[in-house]
A = this chain, B = another copy of it.
Amino acid sequence: MSAALERFSINQMTVKQLDLPELVDACLESGVPGVGLWRAPVQSYGVEATAKLIRDAGLSVTTLCRGGFLTAIEPAERARALDDNRLAVDEAATLGTDTLVLVSGGLPAGSKDLHGARERIADALGELGPYAASRGVRLAVEPLHPMYASDRCVVSTLAQALDIAERFPAEQVGVTVDTYHIWWDDTAPAQIARAGASGRIHTFQLADWTTPLPEGVLNGRGQIGDGAIDMREWKGYVEAAGYSGPIEVELFNDALWARDGREVLAETAARFAEHVG
């Protein structure tokens, strides 16, 4: 493995056209040491089977994506969400990763109460945090870009994520730092320092910002180097804050998904080496 790829991890969604054995083969072929996994393809292959596949290949699982969706008001729906998040913690533990990424959830239908939704997330973490820590798993609250605030994640900034996370011990709850979601925010570097000071940078993810955004704005995460974000600048911020862990590239991008997955993985590794490593 080249030194430039030492900290590189490929998030499974970047090359979702590859099944798990293909992903593992492609990682070995491209010298990629780590993978961030997603629950649905892992469940479909089998959690234990995935764990064995990755372990036997000598790869590490850097995160499991994703728990969360904790903003429901209705009690039965809320209980189901908590159950599902406990299951996600169990899956993370089985896979051998210490980090479960949380996408907090949007506004319930008809609600305009962002503050209330954020408080329900904090309430849920009060239940899930101790459970996760008991399994050796840390929850990483991910602020999503403000364009997702209504329908996907009411936590829009690192400051908001830390306001919630700091109510709990760092070994229970920290944050996800993802360049795509925070690159526009001139207060984010100071918030990264704040997160690092209490040991709460649980994962660092990269995607570039490219425009025009596609309809629905979900699958426009740009290949590293194609957009407006200076990756080394943000790597510098997390490193100055004490983070020296894996760096995941997580792209949702229809154009990349339409191509050969091995080729996309090799390209992504090369871009990482050029712009980050």
- Seen from chain A, the residues whose Cβ lies within 8 Å of a Cβ on chain B are 107, 111-115, 118, 145-147, 149-151, 156-157, 159-160, 183-187, 209, 211-217, 227-230, 233
Cβ distance A188 to chain B, nearest Cβ, rounded Å: 11
Cβ distance A3 to chain B, nearest Cβ, rounded Å: 25
Residues of B within 8 A of A229 (CB): 112
Residues of B within 8 A of A118 (CB): 186
With A213-B215, A213-B216 already in contact, the answer to whether A186 and B150 are too (CB < 8 A) is no
Residues of B within 8 A of A227 (CB): 150
CA distance A68 to B118 in the complex (A): 35
CA distance A156 to B209 in the complex (A): 15
CA distance A185 to B233 in the complex (A): 25
Chain copies in complex? 2
Q: Nearest B residue to A215 by beta-carbon distance?
A: B215
A217 and B186 contact, CB distance less than 8 A: no
Interface of A is mostly: loop
With A107-B228, A212-B216, A228-B107 already in contact, the answer to whether A147 and B147 are too (CB < 8 A) is yes
User: Which of B115, B147, B213 is A186 in contact with, Cβ under 8 Å?
Assistant: B115
CA distance A157 to B159 in the complex (A): 14
A213 and B217 contact, CB distance less than 8 A: yes
Residues of B within 8 A of A212 (CB): 151, 215-217
Q: Nearest B residue to A209 by beta-carbon distance?
A: B150
B150 and A147 contact, CB distance less than 8 A: no
CA distance A147 to B107 in the complex (A): 19
The 10 closest A-B pairs by CB, nearest first: A149-B184, A150-B228, A215-B215, A146-B184, A147-B147, A112-B230, A212-B216, A151-B211, A156-B184, A213-B217
